[in-house]
Structure 1
Amino acid sequence: MNKFPASMPQLYACPECTTGSVSRELTVQTGGSVIIPCYYDKKYTEHKKYWCFDAKAAYLYCSILAYANETKGKVSVIDHPDQSFFTMTMRNLQHEDTGSYWCVEEIGGIFLMDEKEQLHLTVQSAPDVSVKSSSVSGHEGDNVSVQCFYSSGYKNKLKQWCRYKDKSCYTEKRTDTSQNSSVQISDDGRSFTVLMTGLRRSDSGWYFCSAGDLQAPVQLTVTEGT
């Protein structure tokens, strides 16, 4: 349901009602599914979380699709308070699902704004940026690789592998060891491969590979070495 009736008059210019800054752009194949992580400050652990949508990017009129820890239709939201994030899963995506979405922590009160992050999702027959699997795993000390596909229009765009939690990124053609694992990115002109070596348990979490402004989320799970 809409948060406010459609007939409510708009008396003043409201920056919260327009598109604003879109922090994430994703593309998903028609009929496919997507899992999106939404991180939040620990002070919002006990607050309600929800996922809402408006095709025209108007937050004021966005429709709440589901609250945390519930499933409605093809949408499921699961909160992970011990890790300060919740995930949103959407299945069987169709063209009409294209539009703006928001991860929201409900603050409450008439004059208090909810904490939110906007992202834009485009459903298309051939996604411009994608991954074969949105979940990869490995043991401590092992290596893991992720292949990130992109369309021809993104061949010359900057390729990166980033961690959602702390917004740290590894860039194509550079090796970085600042996160206790060596990360290398190699590009063959149609896809790029991320290689993480010497995995640590602390490397577990949500990442995304990106080409230009487009992202594809990937969850990495590192388990205790055998």
Structure 2
Amino acid sequence: MLANGAQSVSLVELFILLLILIFIFSFTGTQEIHTVSKISVQKQQTITVPCLYVQKYANYPKYMSSGGVWIFSHYVSHSRMSVVDNQAENVFTATLREAEVRDSGTYWCAVTVSGSDPHAHLYLQVTEGIIDSIPEWLRVSSQTVSGYEGGNVTIRCRGASHWCRIRGSCVGRDGGSLERTAVMCDDADALRVTLWQLKTEDSGWYYCSNEDSQMPVHVTVMEALDITQFTTNPSESTPPLSADRRLLWLLILGAMLPIITVCGAVMLIKARNKRST
């Protein structure tokens, strides 16, 4: 009896230890990798997932894995998934093309390092239905928008209640604050977001969200066009059109002056001859 009891206690302890290890490995590095928590898309849609990381991981390989538990997840290697690393912005993106229902599940943004890879998870839901007909489903016309410094950009998020910056603050129907950002409710299920007086540091990843999921949107702010580059050097330029016209008129007047003088003299002589007769 004692031996069996001791064995059962050992199994319980082993199970608890395994749970602790799973918990530790699942949450290791989650504060260093950031992404959204859930994305819902329609079948055959292409979706891009941003994975933001801290600077120290810039030169390390990045990848996506899938599986409900991190330590049992497997590397995603099929041809419809591509990963692109942007070290300048400390973010890598995973793009899934032509999403299928069977692609639904938990995914992990991860960085290959020595020891346990830092990671963050999200859930992808792919549906057969037409999400445009479901008001509560999030959708945007495009995951990318762009504008120039000093200008404005507007994003329309259907089915959204908030607009947030990844690793930043939020603004929405119930308030919140995000610098130089205004939100308006177009109708019951649409949020119109305007970023105004854009600055280059506004570039980055944002998301529309509701109570259930998020939809990532990348904003690119380009430098304002320098109009001086289209202006020729004054020392090398030709005279302006108005100066050419003035010179032309002076030449015409100069050529006509002798004729006018002669005609005037003839008319004066004729007038004197008439008075004398």
Letter in 1 for 2:69: A
Paired residue total = 198
Runs of 4+ in 1 over 6 A off after TM superposition: none
Check whether the contact 2:51–2:93 (CA below 8 A) recurs between aligned residues.
yes
Q: Which has the higher contact order (CA 8 A, sep 6+)?
A: 1
Check whether the contact 2:138–2:214 (CA below 8 A) recurs between aligned residues.
yes
Aligned-pair CA distance for 1:77: 0.2
Who is 1:136 aligned against?
Answer: 145
Check whether the contact 1:174–1:184 (CA below 8 A) recurs between aligned residues.
no
Aligned-pair CA distance for 1:34: 0.4
- Inter-partner Cα distance in structure 2 for 1:130 and 1:23: 15
Aligned: 1:81 with 2:87: yes
* Structure 1 residues 161 and 197: CA distance shift in structure 2, 3 A: same
Deviates more, 1:10-19 or 1:93-102: 10-19
Aligned-pair CA distance for 1:137: 0.8
Of 9, 12, 15, 2:23 maps to: 15
SS state at 2:99 partner: coil
Q: TM-score, normalised by structure 2?
A: 0.65
Tell me, which stretches of 5 or more residues in structure 1 are unaligned?
Answer: 1-9, 67-71
- Inter-partner Cα distance in structure 2 for 1:16 and 1:29: 34
* Structure 1 residues 12 and 163: CA distance shift in structure 2, 3 A: same
Who is 1:69 aligned against?
Answer: none
More helix by share: 2
Aligned: 1:147 with 2:160: no
- Inter-partner Cα distance in structure 2 for 1:168 and 1:145: 18
Who is 1:47 aligned against?
Answer: 60
Letter in 1 for 2:100: Q
- Inter-partner Cα distance in structure 1 for 2:145 and 2:123: 24
SS state at 1:101 partner: strand
Who is 1:126 aligned against?
Answer: 130
Tell me, which stretches of 5 or more residues in structure 2 are unaligned?
Answer: 1-14, 132-136, 226-277
Aligned-pair CA distance for 1:131: 0.9
Aligned-pair CA distance for 1:62: 1.3
* Structure 1 residues 31 and 16: CA distance shift in structure 2, 3 A: farther
SS state at 1:43 partner: helix
More strand by share: 1
Who is 1:3 aligned against?
Answer: none
Letter in 1 for 2:39: L
Letter in 1 for 2:113: I
Who is 1:60 aligned against?
Answer: 71
* Structure 1 residues 143 and 173: CA distance shift in structure 2, 3 A: farther
Who is 2:214 aligned against?
Answer: 215
Check whether the contact 1:175–1:184 (CA below 8 A) recurs between aligned residues.
no
Alignment of structure 1 residues 89-168 onto 2, 5 Å: 89-109=95-115, 113-124=116-127, 125-127=129-131, 128-150=137-159, 159-164=161-166, 166-168=167-169
Aligned-pair CA distance for 1:207: 0.6
* Structure 1 residues 18 and 117: CA distance shift in structure 2, 3 A: closer
Residue by residue, what CA displacement relative to the aligned partner does 1:106-141 show, whole Å, maximum 9, x if unpaired? Answer: 2223xxx21110000100123421111101111111
